[in-house]
Chain A
Amino acid sequence: MNLKLHVWRQKNANSPGRMVTYEAKNISPDMSFLEMLDVVNEDLIHRGEEPIAFDHDCREGICGTCSLVINGIPHGGFRATTACQIHMRKFKDGDEIYIEPWRVGPFPIVRDLMVDRSAFDRIIQAGGYISENTGGAPDGNAIPIPKEKQETAMDAAACIGCGACAAACKNGSAMLFVAAKVSHLANLPQGQPERFRRVLRMVERHDLEGFGSCTNQSECEAVCPKEISVKFIAQLNRDYLRASLMSARDAE
């Protein structure tokens, strides 16, 4: 199949970017979306032009590195699918496809379609962990965890930190990401000691990075490749409220 691509090209964070149109010729419907871009890049290299820079790593939907806004929707809007997992058979011969980088203030563009997502790393560093003393490996079933709790925690832990939630949010809020990380640990016994400190610190860091505030439009949930539910944002809100109302010392 042959396609017409409109791709955002930008040299670096400080230079202005623009959409550039490319032809993608002889694309097999069995290719993945990123393989299609690889073909276009081969062609660009042969012609002596700069290839299109885009992020990718696992190419199997588990690492959260790929980050393409396809036709205005992060990851393209296919249910529970990362950009790397899209097959070209989802498109028709002759289609025009718009490809843009994540657009959120706190994710500056590095080049073309690559953005710097270290803001998420700093949010995790602010509280998205548990502290554990090392020693002999504990028995796997020493801590009983109710099945429902475990499953809820797993649903939240499915977050791969790709940033599509923030990229889709009309308010540039990363609350779904923060909520997934907070809820993942808040639903497990191991997460309890730092539970309230965690939520306060992660929200504080989220705000400090310059992300927006959630207005409950659920645009994030609609694009999340791991189908993280906004019910976790409600859990974050509850935990934040409890943490704030508790004595300041307890929470910190």
Chain B
Amino acid sequence: MASATVSSSTASPPRSAPAMSAKPWYVRVLQSTVGAKFIVALTGLALTTFVIFHMLGNLQIYLGRDAYNSYAQALHKLGPLLWVARGGLLICVVVHLGLALKLKRRNLDARPQRYVAERTKRASLPSRTMVLTGLAILAFIILHLAHFTFGLAPIATTVDDKGMLVNYRDLVDPKWKDPLDPRATRHDTYRMFIEGFRDPVMVGVYVVCQLLLGMHLIHGVRSALQSLGINSPKWNRLLDGLAVGVTLAVVGGNVMMPVSVLAGFIGTDVP
């Protein structure tokens, strides 16, 4: 069979193999299975980094209204930078998803027929459900943005002190005063957070989605490192631990917060 010395019936190994395709190198890289996988890995790790900091930032909900609203205010003061970050995230999601789905299509074509006695020896469940968990994450991102970023009316509405319906976006921090501008107000992100998780159904959806995110990450982080060529006996145990640690931290943190609200551990100061 194929070996390092070619003994082909048609020709001896070409001294100068046929020229590679004439496309520019970056197009070739992006179109190759290995190159496309680099990009999936890089965007995946970028999104993972975002998810870690998103979780850490939100843990400030445990510090109370003032701390949490100041954090939210500080983020919004970033102004144009915030939009750069959002744009970057959007690009990461679109590229990650686009290339991952393109590769998936290719992979389905490469294996047109399954075995009658199809069996799996090592491939883990998370590794075999990356597209499903990925699409679930996409659905969750849309829900999450509708819930807290865009304030979609049916899921982002509550009742204010005067008994009027009010959108989460329009909640005002009752305690905060700007020392320089007496008319200035700031958004009550804290109350939005608390009210957002008093619905058991919503909390349930968030928890399930975080578990699916965890499945995506437990394979994704380790796989991304391998795709980037990072695999060495000296570091592999540490890298395994890193993948597990990141996954547990993200899922643990993100599940703990909504559950704490629902269970009444935090947010008792919101009527």
**A and B bound?**
yes
Tell me the bound Cα distance from A204 to B8 in angstroms. Answer: 20
Contact code string B104-128 (vs A, CB < 8 Å = 1, else 0): 0011011111111111111110011
**Chain B residues within CB distance 8 Å of chain A:** 1-6, 8, 13-15, 17, 19-21, 24-25, 28-29, 31-38, 103, 106-107, 109-124, 127-128, 130, 219, 222-223, 226-233
Looking at the assembled complex, report how far the CB atom of A206 sits from the nearest CB atom of chain B, in whole angstroms. Answer: 7
Interface residue ranges of A59-105 to B (CB < 8 Å): 63-65, 69, 71-73, 77, 98, 100, 103-105
Which residue of chain A lies nearest to B36 when distances are taken between CB atoms in the complex? A213
Q: Which residues of A contact B110 (CB under 8 A)?
A: 104-106, 171-173, 210-212
CB atoms of A222 and B121 under 8 A apart: yes
CB atoms of B121 and A73 under 8 A apart: yes
CB atoms of A235 and B229 under 8 A apart: yes
Residue A113 CB within 8 A of the other chain: no
Residue A44 CB within 8 A of the other chain: no
From A25-33, A34-42, A125-133, A138-146, the one touching the partner chain is A125-133
Residue A157 CB within 8 A of the other chain: yes
Interface residue ranges of A148-169 to B (CB < 8 Å): 157, 160-163, 168-169
Residue A54 CB within 8 A of the other chain: no
Pick the residue among A124, A218, A234, A251 that contacts B4 (CB under 8 A): A124
Can you list 9 A-B pairs, Cβ within 8 angstroms, ordered by A? A72-B119, A129-B4, A160-B1, A170-B120, A171-B110, A204-B32, A214-B37, A215-B103, A251-B25
The 4 A-B pairs with the shortest beta carbon distances in the complex, nearest first, are A172-B110, A238-B229, A72-B119, A234-B231
Tell me the bound Cα distance from A85 to B266 in angstroms. Answer: 65
Tell me the bound Cα distance from A210 to B106 in angstroms. Answer: 8
A124-B2, A231-B231 as given contacts; A129 in contact with B13, CB under 8 Å:
yes
Tell me the bound Cα distance from A212 to B110 in angstroms. Answer: 5
CB atoms of A219 and B227 under 8 A apart: no
Tell me the bound Cα distance from A212 to B34 in angstroms. Answer: 10
CB atoms of A207 and B109 under 8 A apart: no
Tell me the bound Cα distance from A203 to B180 in angstroms. Answer: 63
Looking at the assembled complex, report how far the CB atom of B20 sits from the nearest CB atom of chain A, in whole angstroms. Answer: 6
Tell me the bound Cα distance from A127 to B106 in angstroms. Answer: 23
Q: Which residues of A contact B8 (CB under 8 A)?
A: 121, 125
Looking at the assembled complex, report how far the CB atom of B68 sits from the nearest CB atom of chain A, in whole angstroms. Answer: 39
Looking at the assembled complex, report how far the CB atom of B13 sits from the nearest CB atom of chain A, in whole angstroms. Answer: 5
Tell me the bound Cα distance from A170 to B38 in angstroms. Answer: 20
Which residue of chain A lies nearest to B122 when distances are taken between CB atoms in the complex? A222
Q: Which residues of B contact A237 (CB under 8 A)?
A: 34, 37-38, 226-229
A71-B117, A72-B117, A248-B25 as given contacts; A170 in contact with B1, CB under 8 Å:
no
